[in-house]
C-alpha cells in the first residue's frame, strides 16, 4: 500500500491516496496530500534532483516529475507528461528599475505547454485521474485551468468538461478550450458560480473534478517553488511574490516551502507575498483583519484570470501566509496594466494577472516591506498571448494614451510616408 495519504484539513479524516473523492467524504472539507518523508533528505535529495537536470526524455525530463518523490511518488506508469515546467528564471534591468527592487527575478510560467502555470498541476491531476480510471474530467475556470485541462485530457484521451463565466475569459484561453476539444459551457454568471456548479455537477455526473480544490493539482504546483529554488542553487530568495485569485497557488507555495524546510532542501523560509487586484481582493481584506474572518466580494478587475470573489483555497492560503511570515496586498488595475506594459516592453511579456505580481513588488518596495537590495522572485503566471485584447486596448484604444502606449501608425503605401513618420513628424 502507498504511504501517501489524503488528510482532511477540517475534520482530520485520513484516506488513502487512491480515494477518488476530491473533497472529504465525511465533512466536505478540503484534502491535503501527506507523505512519508522521502528516504533521503537535505544534500542527498538535492543531489537526486540536480542529477536529473541532464535527463532529456521521459517523465524525469519534466520540471514537475523531476521532483517525483515529493509530488506523487507512486504514479508509476500512469504519469502523463507533455512535458511541462523547466521554465526560465529571468533578470531584466528594465523591470527591476521600474519596480525599484534591484534583486528582482521573474519566474516565467507562461513558458509551459499551454502558456500558464496550470500545466504543472494538471499533469499531476490527470495522472491521478488515470490512476483512478475515471471516465471524464471537469473544471470551472477563468480560462487557464480550462485550457490546461482541455489539453491534458486530450493527451490522455479523456473527455473534458469546462465551465467558464460568460464574457470574462480572455480570447487566447477561449480559443484553446475550443481547439483542444473540451466541451465548453459558457455560464451566465461569475467564476465563483461556475465553481459551485462544477463541484455539484461532477459529483452528480461522476466526473472527476480538477479544480485546485483537488489536492493533486497543488502537488504539481509546488514545483514552481522547488524549481526556482533549484535554479538559485537551493539558496532561497528573501521573497516569493505571486498573484492571487482562487488561492491554489498561494496554498501550494506555502506547502512547498514548509516541506522544503522539513526535508532540509533549504534552511530558511522565504516570505510569501500574495498580490490581488484591488477590485477582487477578499483575501487582502481578510489579511488586514488579521485573518479574523473570511470575506467575499463581487469582483471587478481587468485581470480576468483573478476576477474571483470567494476563493476556494482560503484556509490553506491563510496557513501559507502565516507560516512564511507573508503579506497580502493589492494593486489597482492601472498599476498592473502599467507593470504589464513594462514587462511586455522589456521583451518578456505576460498576461495582466501575472503583472499584478510585478506591480505588487513595486508597491511593497515603496512601502519599505521589501528592501531594494533583497532577492525577490515574482512569478509570471501566464503568457502575453493569452489576452491579446488587453494589449490592443492599452496601446491602441485608451484615451489619453497611457504612459507606455505604443500606438501603431497607419500610412499610404509610399516611401515618402515612411520617411515622414521616421523623421518624427507624426509622432
Residues in the chain: 427
Given candidates 6, 68, 81, 144, which one binds ligand F0G under the rule CB under 6 A?
144
| Number of amino acids touching ligand F0G (CB under 6 A) | 23
Least distance from C-beta 177 to ligand F0G, angstroms? 11
What is the rounded CA–CA span in Å between residue 153 and residue 223? 21
Cell of 243: 498573484
Given candidates 81, 214, 351, 362, which one binds ligand F0G under the rule CB under 6 A?
351
Q: Are 340 and 350 in contact (CB under 8 A)?
A: yes
Query: DSSP label at 36?
Result: P
Pick the stretch among 13-21, 93-101, 253-261, 349-357 that binds ligand F0G (CB under 6 A): 349-357
Give the three-state DSSP class for 319.
helix
Cell of 307: 476576477
Instruction: Give yes or no for residue 382 binding ligand F0G (CB under 6 A).
Output: yes
What is the rounded CA–CA span in Å between residue 346 and residue 325? 31
Least distance from C-beta 62 to ligand F0G, angstroms? 20
What is the rounded CA–CA span in Å between residue 155 and residue 172? 20
Query: 284 to 343, contacts with ligand F0G by CB under 6 A?
Result: 305-306
Give the three-state DSSP class for 140.
strand
Binding mask 200-219 for ligand F0G (x = CB under 6 A): ------------x-------
Query: 54 to 73, contacts with ligand F0G by CB under 6 A?
Result: none
Instruction: Give yes or no for residue 115 binding ligand F0G (CB under 6 A).
Output: no
What is the rounded CA–CA span in Å between residue 397 and residue 391? 9
* Phi, psi dihedrals of residue 83, rounded to the nearest 5°: -95, 175
Whether residue 83 is preceded by a cis peptide bond, meaning omega within 30 degrees of 0, is yes
Of 45 and 207, nearer to ligand F0G (C-beta) is 207
Binding mask 223-262 for ligand F0G (x = CB under 6 A): --------------------xxxxxxxx------------
Given candidates 87, 128, 142, 301, which one binds ligand F0G under the rule CB under 6 A?
142
Instruction: Give yes or no for residue 220 binding ligand F0G (CB under 6 A).
Output: no
* Phi, psi dihedrals of residue 183, rounded to the nearest 5°: -70, 110
Binding mask 160-199 for ligand F0G (x = CB under 6 A): ----------------------------------------
Given candidates 85, 113, 125, 143, which one binds ligand F0G under the rule CB under 6 A?
143
Q: Are 178 and 169 in contact (CB under 8 A)?
A: no
Pick the stretch among 62-70, 82-90, 137-145, 363-371 that binds ligand F0G (CB under 6 A): 137-145
Radius of gyration of the chain (CA): 21
Query: DSSP label at 46?
Result: H
Residues that bind ligand F0G (CB under 6 A): 116, 118, 141-145, 212, 243-250, 305-306, 351, 353-354, 381-382
Amino acid at each position: 500500500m502507498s504511504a501517501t495519504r489524503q488528510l482532511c484539513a477540517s475534520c482530520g479524516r485520513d484516506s488513502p491516496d487512491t480515494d477518488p473523492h476530491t473533497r472529504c467524504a465525511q465533512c466536505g472539507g478540503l484534502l491535503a496530500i501527506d507523505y512519508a518523508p522521502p528516504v533521503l533528505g537535505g544534500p542527498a535529495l538535492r543531489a537526486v534532483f540536480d542529477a536529473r537536470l541532464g535527463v532529456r526524455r521521459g517523465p524525469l525530463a519534466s520540471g514537475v516529475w523531476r521532483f517525483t518523490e515529493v509530488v506523487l511518488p507512486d504514479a508509476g506508469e500512469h504519469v502523463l507528461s507533455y512535458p511541462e515546467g523547466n521554465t526560465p528564471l529571468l533578470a531584466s534591468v528594465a523591470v527591476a528599475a521600474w519596480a525599484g527592487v534591484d534583486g528582482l527575478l521573474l519566474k516565467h510560467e507562461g513558458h509551459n505547454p499551454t502558456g500558464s502555470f496550470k500545466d504543472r498541476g494538471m499533469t499531476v491531476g490527470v495522472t491521478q485521474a488515470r490512476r483512478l480510471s475515471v471516465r471524464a474530467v471537469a473544471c470551472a475556470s477563468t480560462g487557464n485551468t480550462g485550457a490546461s485541462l482541455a489539453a491534458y485530457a486530450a493527451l490522455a484521451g479523456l473527455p473534458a468538461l469546462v465551465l467558464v463565466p460568460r464574457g470574462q475569459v480572455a480570447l487566447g484561453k477561449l480559443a484553446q478550450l475550443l481547439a483542444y476539444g473540451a466541451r465548453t459551457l459558457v455560464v451566465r454568471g461569475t467564476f465563483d458560480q461556475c465553481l459551485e456548479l462544477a463541484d455539484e455537477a461532477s459529483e452528480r455526473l461522476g466526473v472527476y473534478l480538477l479544480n485546485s480544490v483537488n489536492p493533486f493539482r497543488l502537488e504539481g504546483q509546488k514545483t514552481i517553488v522547488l524549481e526556482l529554488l533549484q535554479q538559485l542553487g537551493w539558496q532561497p530568495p528573501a521573497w516569493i511574490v505571486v498573484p492571487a485569485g482562487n488561492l491554489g497557488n498561494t496554498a501550494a507555495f506555502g506547502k512547498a516551502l514548509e516541506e522544503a524546510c522539513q526535508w532540509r532542501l533549504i534552511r530558511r523560509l522565504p516570505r510569501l507575498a500574495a498580490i490581488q487586484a484591488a477590485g477582487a481582493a477578499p483575501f487582502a481584506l481578510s489579511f488586514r483583519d488579521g485573518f479574523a474572518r473570511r470575506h467575499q466580494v463581487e469582483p471587478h478587475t481587468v485581470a480576468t484570470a483573478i476576477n474571483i470573489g470567494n476563493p476556494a483555497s482560503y484556509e490553506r492560503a491563510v496557513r501559507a501566509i502565516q507560516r512564511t511570515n507573508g503579506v497580502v496586498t493589492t494593486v489597482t488595475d492601472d498599476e498592473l496594466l502599467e507593470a504589464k506594459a513594462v514587462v511586455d516592453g522589456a521583451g518578456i511579456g505576460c498576461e495582466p494577472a501575472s503583472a499584478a505580481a510585478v506591480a505588487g513588488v513595486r508597491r511593497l518596495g515603496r512601502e519599505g516591506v521589501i528592501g531594494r537590495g533583497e532577492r525577490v522572485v515574482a512569478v509570471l503566471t501566464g503568457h502575453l498571448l493569452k489576452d491579446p485584447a488587453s494589449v490592443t486596448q492599452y496601446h491602441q484604444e485608451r484615451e489619453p494614451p497611457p504612459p507606455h502606449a505604443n500606438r501603431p501608425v497607419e500610412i499610404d503605401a509610399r516611401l515618402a510616408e515612411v520617411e515622414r513618420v521616421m523623421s518624427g513628424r507624426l509622432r
